[in-house]
Amino acid sequence: MILVLVETDAHGATETSQETLTFARELADRRGGLTLHALLVGPLADGITQAALTQLGEQGVSTVRHAQHEQLSSYAAGSWATAVATATESVSADIVMAAGTARGSEIMAHVATRLDATMAANVVAVDDVDPLTVSRQVMGGAVLEVMRVASVPAVLTVAGHAVDPRAAALPTQPHVEVFEPPLTESDVVGRVVRVEATEVDDTAALTGARVVVGAGRGAGSAHGFDDLLELSELLDGTLGVSRVVTSLGWRPHHEQVGQTGSRIAPDVYIACGISGAIQHWAGCQSAKTIIAINTDADAPMVTKAHYAVIGDLHEIVPAINEELRRRGS
Ligand SMILES: Cc1cc2nc3c(=O)[nH]c(=O)nc-3n(C[C@H](O)[C@H](O)[C@H](O)COP(=O)(O)OP(=O)(O)OC[C@H]3O[C@@H](n4cnc5c(N)ncnc54)[C@H](O)[C@@H]3O)c2cc1C
């Protein structure tokens, strides 16, 4: 049996949790048809709605376990981990996994410690099912490591965009089982007491975009983005930037792509004036087609891209915009 910790937002399971469910289901099939259980933790704004159950059923989930306890009213890695570890032990899960988000990674590290289990973080593929052997991203995605996970249960987190969410061939009608994990004061020693938005966060627009126009130091200054923004609008896409750009305060942090920003997987990524450092590459390498615009023909972004235009972005991008406007008119 495979147990998946599912993170939720206003629309049900998050995109990364749906990816993880698909990853888990395909692994369950390869293990001879293991059952798939989903675990929800803490209060949900609308409870477990029929829409949420349908969504989980489309992923092939047979049972939804819902951990409820008054100490789960605010997030604490310790209490979430106790809920996951309790569910794992009570159903004797062979594998327990979560999306490799900040919270997923934090919780599963606690879970592995509590279960005295082996953990593989940021898994992108299963190489062998017996013994379980996985490939996982390390060094911000620059290196793939093959790891044997011999413990039972095995604890995994799945890297973002490792798979696209896909519906099961045969949808299920999951039933819900509520349980109360045995939480103690020590589980909530470190817990979230307040959440404040620091800036308008439009990360979802970036991670979900089919076209991303990337902008790096080559933009020149905070005033160098007008043509790049226009290009992203003309292509019905959005802007993504390098860390230099956010560090210099030219653009907000939620637009950052990379190891410490968002990982994107658009159909097209147009990287303008970006050198392609490994920390940036970690966030954009899943793009289906990468086009680099750069003055340096030897820049890593240029050598790794599918297509490249060598030249000044301040000349090339306005020319592309003009042509797109002409074709659109
Ligand atoms: C722990 C850690 C985490 C990090 N996380 C991230 C991250 O999440 N995301 C990220 O992006 N970086 C990250 N970095 C920083 C990363 O190492 C690089 O410093 C950064 O990506 C470089 O940004 P850049 O490509 O915009 O700038 P540069 O490396 O300075 O490159 C600018 C590029 O623009 C080209 N150029 C200049 N002028 C023009 C022009 N007019 N037209 C066309 N091309 C031009 C140049 O040839 C060059 O290739 C991280 C670093 C560390 C240590």
Query: Looking at residue 207, which CATH number applies to its domain?
Result: 3.40.50.1220
Same domain, 18 and 144: yes
Establish if 194 belongs to a structural domain.
Answer: no
Establish if 196 belongs to a structural domain.
Answer: no
- Residue finishing a domain among 188, 216, 239: 188
- Tokens standing for 322? 């003009």
Q: What's the structural domain count of the chain?
A: 2
CA atoms within 13 A on the CB side of 294: 25
Establish if 198 belongs to a structural domain.
Answer: no
Same domain, 166 and 214: no
Domain carrying residue 253: 203-328
- Residue finishing a domain among 161, 188, 215: 188
Cα first-last separation, the chain:
57
Cα dihedral across residues 58, 28, 101, 68: positive or negative: positive
User: Rounded to two decimals, what is the model's pTM?
Assistant: 0.72
The response to whether residue 259 sits with its C-beta less than 6 Å from ligand 1 reads: yes
Establish if 197 belongs to a structural domain.
Answer: no
Residue from 245, 295, 310 whose mutation best tests the ligand 1 pocket (most atoms within 8 A of CB)? 295
Tens digit of each residue's pLDDT, the chain (329 residues): 999 999 998 788 998 999 999 999 999 999 998 999 999 999 887 777 888 899 999 999 999 999 999 999 999 999 999 999 999 999 999 999 999 998 999 999 999 999 999 999 999 999 999 999 999 988 767 788 999 998 999 999 999 888 989 999 999 999 999 999 999 999 988 889 888 876 666 777 898 899 999 999 999 999 999 999 999 999 999 999 999 999 999 999 899 999 888 989 999 999 999 999 999 999 999 999 999 999 999 999 999 999 999 999 999 999 999 999 999 85
Same domain, 169 and 265: no
* Residue 13 CA to ligand 1 centre (angstroms): 34
- Run of H or E residues at 20: helix 15-30
Establish if 65 belongs to a structural domain.
Answer: yes
CA dist 255 and 274 (Å) reads: 14
Residue 147: CATH number of its domain: 3.40.50.620
